[in-house]
């Protein structure tokens, strides 16, 4: 597969059951449609950030910072959470970055593709691509930790109900997580229909619990004043800086709001956030602060160990645990679906080898299941739970991947301002500097947690980055080597018409390049000495836009003597269904009858090179990835009984 874009792929925590095509999320003129989309977004997008109150406020007091529990510190922490949510989520992502869309699609993937179109040929274009690839790599570490910390923190609520249930927390969490991964192969449409109602009940519940505490101790509202966040830093310095590593847990999932813009639309997403989700979250955080601030010191210290569940009176704590567990289940589902989504996009864009993809719905194209990714995530999540044992330990590992991705988004935002929106540098520099200071502070605070577990997402990110870049580099070298020896198709067509027997039917030779003769065609005529009446050399190109209209899908050149050069264009969010694309293709020597059409594929084997194009260890990794890649037959959805594979050898 070839691509005319090197735009990398970023995190998009998207539930595959909710995927929409281009334009579907935009242009909803009447309020009913906007409201319906806003409700749908609540069920899919906000699970990650919505379940943060389970552990974010708690970790600021019980984590590495070891903050004293008194009125000033409670006001300082709540003020930090409020202003973090306002600056990072509301202003940076929802207000500014949601204006940057690639034909309606949001997310760092769309942003990098947008930037590549404007500055891709400049001397800084390669840096933009690398930043995007690194942000993608960090997402995989995040997608392993999110299900583990979310479900564990919810199930730990059982210890608030009855401390004797503590030995059951890890077994129950593991059973829930294993069930979650086992359900993936069945698709999420039926479960997805329950997402929005459950999350709405969850948000209303946590808002009500918080409001009850605020009513009893309205003094907590002073935290709206940034003075208390500022004084926290003035009086505590290093301790306040360390607290940022826990405060940032309140904004994890913020990048998902931008990534899912294309599925629900800018307007509905903003309506959901400002009109419902953000107020509910803030009421809960302020409520937790009000409860802690209103207790005597010795009781406050005990309550700080799990303030979320203590917001409810004793008889309602078990229902709250069940509701929170359902919410974390939904949040984890969205992250797993997001891992499937970006893996598929990475394959499309040439950063990953082909993997077996199963489509779990006949009507929803976006519903996919990738077994390799699913089982790898499940094993990683189980190891995390067994290794870290509780959500507080996992909080040390959580955050660094998110803050790294957010900082990268800020850098890309600066390129957007100057390269796409054409801002003057003296306008862009202060804005970008402000956000870099904020996001950089969060990232730096999380670096302190590397010895306690922050190393895990960094290691996962480094491994993923190595694999992504190795595959992209190896594929580039292979294409270069193959093009060096490629024979022009026009010359081949003229020489071959009289040197081989023509047989009835159509032969389609899949080619990664739009020039030259594919090796499968050369091998076929060399060994079989026959040519079909109609020979089509077909290339699938992935454009740097999310979707390509059906009217722009096909290109065809008649080379004469029954030879045709055809190209199918797809967006990086679309599935490459070649048989369907051929049905849409006209003027290519008549319709394609699959019963009389054969597909010829090339399978390359790497040979050692005297002058390798990359280090030997990377060559070996690339060779291993190439051997284990799924066949093009599955990826392009070719009919299994109409495919012939021919091998070739390549030196890189």
- From residue 340, how far is each of 7, 11, 55, 344, 651 by CA, in Å? 18, 10, 26, 6, 32
Select from 348, 349, 414 the least CA-distant residue to 124. 414
Q: Residue 197 in contact with residue 205, Cβ under 8 Å?
A: no
Q: Please report the pLDDT score of residue 450 as a whole number.
A: 85
**CA 346, 264, 181, 201: dihedral to nearest 10 degrees?**
160
Structure tokens at 546: 């999310």
* pLDDT exceeds cutoff 80 at 586: no
Residue with tokens 């390798």: 612
Q: Tokens at residue 157, please?
A: 């609520």
Which span out of 57-61, 211-215, 338-342 was modeled with the highest average pLDDT? 211-215
For residue 2, the SS3 value is strand
Average pLDDT value for the chain: 81
pLDDT in tens, 363-381: 555 567 888 999 999 999 9
Q: Which residue from 369, 415, 527 is spatially nearest to 120, judged by alpha carbons? A: 415
Residue 528 burial (CB count, 10 A): 13
Q: Report CA-CA distances (Å) from 611 to 478, 627, 652.
A: 14, 22, 8
Classify domain 32-472 by CATH architecture. Up-down Bundle (1.20)
No. of helices (H) and no. of strands (E), the chain: 28, 9
3-state secondary structure 155-173: HCCHHHHCHHHHHHHHHHH
Q: Of 5, 44, 559, 56, which is closest to residue 341 (Cα–Cα)? A: 44
Which run of H or of E encompasses 291?
helix 278-293
**What ranges do the domains of the chain cover?**
32-472, 487-651
More confident residue, 360 or 165: 165
| C-alpha to C-alpha distance for 461 and 128, rounded to whole angstroms | 17
Q: What is the per-residue pLDDT across 185-242, written as a single tens digit (0 to 9) for each?
A: 776 555 566 788 999 999 999 999 999 999 999 999 999 999 998 988 888 888 888 8
Are 589 and 534 within 8 A, CB to CB? Answer: yes
Say how far apart CA 48 and CA 250 lie, in whole Å: 10
**Threshold 0.95, pTM exceeds:** no
DSSP 325-373: HHHHHHHHHHHHHHHHHHHHHHHHTTSS-----EE--SS-TT-EE-HHH
Tell me how many degrees the CA angle 446-452-454 measures, rounded to the nearest 5.
45
Mean pLDDT of 30-36: 64
- Which residue did the predictor score with more confidence, 489 or 407? 407
CA atoms 324, 330, 336, 338: torsion sign:
negative
Q: Can you tell me the mean pLDDT for 537-562?
A: 81
What is the Cα–Cα distance from 520 to 597, expressed in whole angstroms?
16
Q: What is the pLDDT of residue 446?
A: 87
Q: Of 74, 614, 5, which Cα lies nearest the Cα of 294? A: 74
| Identity of the highest mean pLDDT range in 229-243, 255-269, 313-327, 537-551 | 313-327
Q: What's the CA gap between 404 and 392, in Å, rounded?
A: 20
In this structure, which long-range contacts are made by residues 425-428, counting pairs with CB atoms below 8 Å and at least 24 apart in sequence? none
Lowest mean pLDDT among 83-97, 346-360, 388-402: 346-360
């Amino acid at each position: 597969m070839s691509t005319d874009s090197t735009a990398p792929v970023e995190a998009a925590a998207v539930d595959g059951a909710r995927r929409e095509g281009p334009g579907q999320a935009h242009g909803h003129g009447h309020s009913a449609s906007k409201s319906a989309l806003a409700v749908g977004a609540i069920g899919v997008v906000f699970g990650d950030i919505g379940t943060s109150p389970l552990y974010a406020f708690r970790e600021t007091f019980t984590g590495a910072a070891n903050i004293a529990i008194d009125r000033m510190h409670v006001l300082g922490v709540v003020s930090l959470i409020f202003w973090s949510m306002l600056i990072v989520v509301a202003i940076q992502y929802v207000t500014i970055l949601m204006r940057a869309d690639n034909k309606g699609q949001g997310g760092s993937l769309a942003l990098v593709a947008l930037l590549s179109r404007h500055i891709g040929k400049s001397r800084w274009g390669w840096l933009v691509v690398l930043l995007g690839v690194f942000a993608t790599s960090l997402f995989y570490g995040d997608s392993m930790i999110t299900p583990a910390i979310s479900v564990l923190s919810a199930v730990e609520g059982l210890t608030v109900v009855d401390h004797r249930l503590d030995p059951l927390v890890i077994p129950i969490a593991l059973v829930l997580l294993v069930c979650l991964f086992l359900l993936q192969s069945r698709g999420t449409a039926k479960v997805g229909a329950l997402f929005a109602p459950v999350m709405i009940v969850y948000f209303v519940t946590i808002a009500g619990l918080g409001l009850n505490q605020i009513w009893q101790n309205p003094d907590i509202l002073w935290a709206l004043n940034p003075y208390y966040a500022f004084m926290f830093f003035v009086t505590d310095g290093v301790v306040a800086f360390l607290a940022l590593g826990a405060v940032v847990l309140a904004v994890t999932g913020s990048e998902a709001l931008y990534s899912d813009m294309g599925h629900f639309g800018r307007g509905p997403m903003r309506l959901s956030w400002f009109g419902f989700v953000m107020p509910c979250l803030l009421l809960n955080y302020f409520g937790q602060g009000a409860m802690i601030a209103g207790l005597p010191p010795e009781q406050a210290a005990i309550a700080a160990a799990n303030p979320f569940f203590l917001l409810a009176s004793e008889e309602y704590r078990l229902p709250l645990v069940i509701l929170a567990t359902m919410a974390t289940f939904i949040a984890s589902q969205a992250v797993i679906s997001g891992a499937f989504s970006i893996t598929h996009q990475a394959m499309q864009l040439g950063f990953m080898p082909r993997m077996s993809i199963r489509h779990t719905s006949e009507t929803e194209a976006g519903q996919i299941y990738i077994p390799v990714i699913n089982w790898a995530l499940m094993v990683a999540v189980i190891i995390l739970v067994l290794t870290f044992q509780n959500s507080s330990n996992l909080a040390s590992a959580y955050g660094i991947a998110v803050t790294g991705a957010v900082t990268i988004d800020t850098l890309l935002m600066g390129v957007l301002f100057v390269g796409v929106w054409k801002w003057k540098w003296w306008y862009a520099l202060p804005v970008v500097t402000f956000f870099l200071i904020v996001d950089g502070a969060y990232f730096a605070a999380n670096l302190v947690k590397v010895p306690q577990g922050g190393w895990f997402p960094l290691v996962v990110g480094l491994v993923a980055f190595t694999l992504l870049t190795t595959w992209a580099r190896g594929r580039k070298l292979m294409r270069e080597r193959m093009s060096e020896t490629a024979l022009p198709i026009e010359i081949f067509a003229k020489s071959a018409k009289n040197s081989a027997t023509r047989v009835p039917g159509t032969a389609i030779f899949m080619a990664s390049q739009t020039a030259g003769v594919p090796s499968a065609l050369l091998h076929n005529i060399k060994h079989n000495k026959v040519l079909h009446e109609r020979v089509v050399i077909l290339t699938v190109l992935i454009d740097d836009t999310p979707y390509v209209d059906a009217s722009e899908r096909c290109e065809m050149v008649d080379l004469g003597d029954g030879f045709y050069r055809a190209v199918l264009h797809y967006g990086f969010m679309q599935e490459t269904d070649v048989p369907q694309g051929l049905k849409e293709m006209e003027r290519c020597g008549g319709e394609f009858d699959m019963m009389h059409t054969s597909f010829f594929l090339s399978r390359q084997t790497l040979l050692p090179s005297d002058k390798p194009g990359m280090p030997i260890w990377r060559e070996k990794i690339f060779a291993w990835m190439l051997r284990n890649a799924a066949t093009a037959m599955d990826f392009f959805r070719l009919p299994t009984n109409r495919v012939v594979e021919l091998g070739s050898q390549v030196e890189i």
